[in-house]
């Protein structure tokens, strides 16, 4: 059991952190014995009853003088833990004599100390953990740090300390039983048909990229000659598409159903055509308005739903106006015939209060938290989380978007570069658990994009990795089941660990897994200590589980 000492203003963040690191904890009570005491309070007393005390603070705390450590404050910094970058967005400090497990990359000094205490070990970490988690979940990371799953690294550091000095550790990892990770295949439906665009900015952009852009990319070795040929043929067919003599090659829903056979996906549909919506400062640019509304593709929405796909809202104003959000939700719910509807905002519009607005509108979940310009972890996590301003709404973060990978204004990846970036995100999910949420736009299989080959490679890579492919709502339901899980009892009996755990029932999603890290002989905690082989025991947790290990 972890006893947590934190400012009252941090209690919401503390609760959310321990939904992401699902292990037994409670707010500290002086009359209790704990395996671990975790504190972010300056002046944490040295007589707390626990074999491991972990103090996170950027300021000098009680105990520093006893360990003859001199601390120096610094601004935002980049730390290194087990060879991985860990950004710190608030104040941090380094130590003249400290542990090499956590290093300030610029100062090349330790950002942690590990000191034996009277009854165990006292670890001081030179930043405020809950301030960092609160910042990540509320404001997010700059694009420069998009590749860093910072929340998962914070969890890993704490887990490694506990396993090293206070095991056994019991947790419910963000990994469904029988699988190694979760993948959500999603599609923003922005341009379902080329015939809807008659020499507007979308059609002109298509012609430019098909004719000139593809030639430039070919000369730079980024695309093949066949790619150029297909784009030029498509441009020549454009007049025939408009008069109905040639197939509309942007109408690619059937191809997605074929490629994703057995792997359910989610389509986010714009509710109202011709409406650009609003920004925080007034009307949005006119080009944000879609040339279609959900009523224009009713038959196709019905086909997708009957084929096992989920339909969500590609919202316009829901992020800032809950009344408008209700209108958008009701439009899609009526057409899709669904009672529970999720949302992803068009152009990924959002703000600090977006979750509250979307929750008030009645959406089941949100999947807007991501980047337009890059791929990775805006909130620093692979996991579904509850935004701090929300009461019930859960956020399914977006990690990979095709336009971010390939557009010249963004990453402008070659196919090989795109594979490398996506592979890194899959590797993180394999290491930390959680989900990989992909957005491949409705028109991206067709000219002038022709990103179908990259999408097929992504599907194959995820399949090989042992993925549970889930609709967005299914992934959220699995994480909601995990959030419901409770450790009813964790006790030691005759040298064995007894664990009683339970979780709410959830239909159509895999079981949870209970993971036990047994005790091991402690060593010197260092940059490699957390990598030492540690046998873990995984058990399936469906509704209830009683285990003795």
Residue 445: pLDDT band with limits 50, 70, 90: very high
Q: Are strands 121-125 and 52-56 parallel, antiparallel or unpaired?
A: parallel
For 181-193+250-281+289-478, CATH gives: 3.20.20.370
Domains 2-171 and 181-193+250-281+289-478 share a fold: no
Instruction: Collect all residues with Cβ–Cβ distance below 8 Å to 191 and sequence separation of at least 6.
Output: 197, 202, 250, 290, 291, 441, 442, 443
* Class of the CATH-defined domain 2-171: alpha beta
Instruction: Collect all residues with Cβ–Cβ distance below 8 Å to 495 and sequence separation of at least 6.
Output: none
Considering just the CA atoms, what is the radius of gyration of the chain in Å?
25
Would you state the pLDDT for residue 546? 74
Structure-model confidence comparison of residues 120 and 18, the more confident one: 18
Cβ atoms 23, 170 nearer than 8 A: yes
d(CA 525, CA 100): 8
Cβ atoms 547, 498 nearer than 8 A: yes
Residue 415: pLDDT band with limits 50, 70, 90: very high
pLDDT tens, residue by residue, 310-366: 999 999 999 999 999 999 999 999 999 998 999 999 999 999 999 999 999 999 999
The pair of structure tokens assigned to 415 is 């196919």
Q: Are strands 25-27 and 2-5 parallel, antiparallel or unpaired?
A: parallel
Neighbours of 362 (CB within 10 A): 17
d(CA 530, CA 159): 9
d(CA 188, CA 346): 8
DSSP 210: I
Checking if the pLDDT of 70 tops 80, the result is no
DSSP 14-35: HHHHHHHS-S-EEE--TTS--S
Checking if the pLDDT of 499 tops 90, the result is no
Instruction: Collect all residues with Cβ–Cβ distance below 8 Å to 109 and sequence separation of at least 6.
Output: 94, 95, 96, 98, 103
d(CA 174, CA 478): 9
Helix (H) or strand (E) holding 456: helix 452-464
Checking if the pLDDT of 67 tops 50, the result is no
Residue 59: pLDDT band with limits 50, 70, 90: confident
Checking if the pLDDT of 534 tops 90, the result is no
d(CA 82, CA 66): 28
Cβ atoms 23, 34 nearer than 8 A: no
d(CA 503, CA 260): 31
Give domain limits for the chain. 2-171, 181-193+250-281+289-478, 196-242
The pair of structure tokens assigned to 368 is 């807007």
The pair of structure tokens assigned to 358 is 């979307």
DSSP 127: B
Cβ atoms 181, 436 nearer than 8 A: yes
Neighbours of 549 (CB within 10 A): 13
Residue 237: pLDDT band with limits 50, 70, 90: very high
Alpha helices in 220-369 (DSSP H): 225-242, 253-259, 298-306, 322-336, 354-361
d(CA 525, CA 516): 20
pLDDT tens, residue by residue, 344-355: 999 999 999 999
The pair of structure tokens assigned to 3 is 């006893």
d(CA 530, CA 347): 40
- Per-residue burial over 29-55, b if 16 or more Cβ lie within 10 Å, else e, is eeeeebbbbbbbbeebeeebebbbbbb
């Amino acid at each position: 059991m972890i006893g947590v000492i934190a400012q009252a203003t941090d209690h919401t963040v503390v609760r959310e952190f321990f939904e992401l690191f699902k292990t037994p904890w409670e707010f500290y009570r002086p009359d209790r014995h704990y395996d671990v005491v975790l504190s972010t309070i300056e002046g944490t007393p040295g007589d707390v009853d626990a074999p491991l005390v972990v103090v996170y603070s950027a300021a000098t705390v009680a105990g520093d003088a006893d360990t003859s450590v001199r601390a120096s404050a610094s601004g935002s910094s980049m730390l290194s833990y087990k060879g991985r970058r860990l950004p710190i967005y608030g104040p941090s400090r380094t130590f003249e004599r400290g542990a090499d497990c956590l290093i300030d990359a610029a100062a090349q000094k330790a950002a942690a100390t590990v000191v034996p205490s009277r009854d165990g070990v006292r670890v001081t970490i030179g930043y405020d953990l809950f301030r960092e988690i609160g910042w990540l979940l509320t404001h997010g990371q700059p694009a420069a740090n998009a590749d860093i799953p910072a929340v998962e690294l914070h969890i890993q550091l704490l887990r490694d300390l506990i396993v090293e000095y206070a095991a056994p550790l019991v947790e419910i990892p963000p990994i469904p039983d029988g699988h190694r990770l979760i993948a959500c295949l999603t599609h923003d439906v922005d341009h379902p048909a080329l015939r809807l665009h008659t020499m507007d900015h979308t059609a002109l952009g298509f012609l430019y990229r098909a004719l000139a852009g593809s030639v430039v990319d070919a000369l730079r070795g980024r695309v093949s000659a066949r790619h150029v040929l297909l784009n030029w043929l498509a441009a020549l067919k454009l007049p025939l598409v408009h008069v109905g003599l040639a197939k509309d090659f942007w109408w690619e829903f059937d191809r997605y159903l074929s490629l994703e056979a057995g792997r359910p996906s989610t389509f986010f549909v714009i509710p109202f055509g011709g409406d650009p919506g609003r920004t925080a400062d007034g009307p949005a640019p006119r080009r944000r308005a879609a040339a279609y509304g959900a009523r224009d593709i009713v038959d196709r929405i019905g086909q997708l739903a009957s084929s096992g796909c989920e339909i969500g809202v590609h919202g316009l104003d829901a992020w800032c106006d809950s009344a408008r959000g209700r209108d958008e939700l009701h439009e899609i719910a009526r057409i899709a015939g669904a009672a529970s509807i999720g949302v992803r905002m068009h152009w990924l519009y959002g703000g600090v209060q977006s979750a509250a607005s979307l929750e008030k509108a009645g959406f089941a979940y949100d999947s807007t938290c991501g980047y337009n310009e890059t791929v990775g972890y805006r909130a620093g996590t692979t996991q579904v989380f509850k935004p701090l301003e929300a009461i019930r709404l859960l956020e399914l973060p977006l990690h990979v978007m095709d336009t971010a990978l390939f557009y010249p204004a963004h990453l402008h990846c070659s196919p090989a570069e795109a594979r490398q970036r996506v592979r890194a995100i899959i590797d993180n999910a394999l290491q930390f658990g959680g989900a990989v949420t992909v957005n491949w736009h409705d028109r991206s299989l067709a000219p002038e994009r022709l990103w179908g080959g990259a999408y097929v490679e992504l599907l194959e890579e995820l399949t090989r990795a042992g993925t549970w492919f889930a609709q967005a709502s299914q992934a959220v339901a699995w994480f909601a089941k995990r959030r419901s899980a409770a450790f009813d009892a964790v006790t030691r009996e005759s040298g064995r660990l007894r664990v009683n755990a339970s979780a709410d029932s959830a239909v159509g999603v895999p079981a949870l897994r209970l993971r036990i890290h047994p005790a091991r002989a402690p060593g010197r905690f260092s940059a490699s200590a957390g990598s030492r082989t540690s046998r873990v025991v995984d058990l399936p947790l469906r509704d209830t589980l009683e285990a003795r290990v």
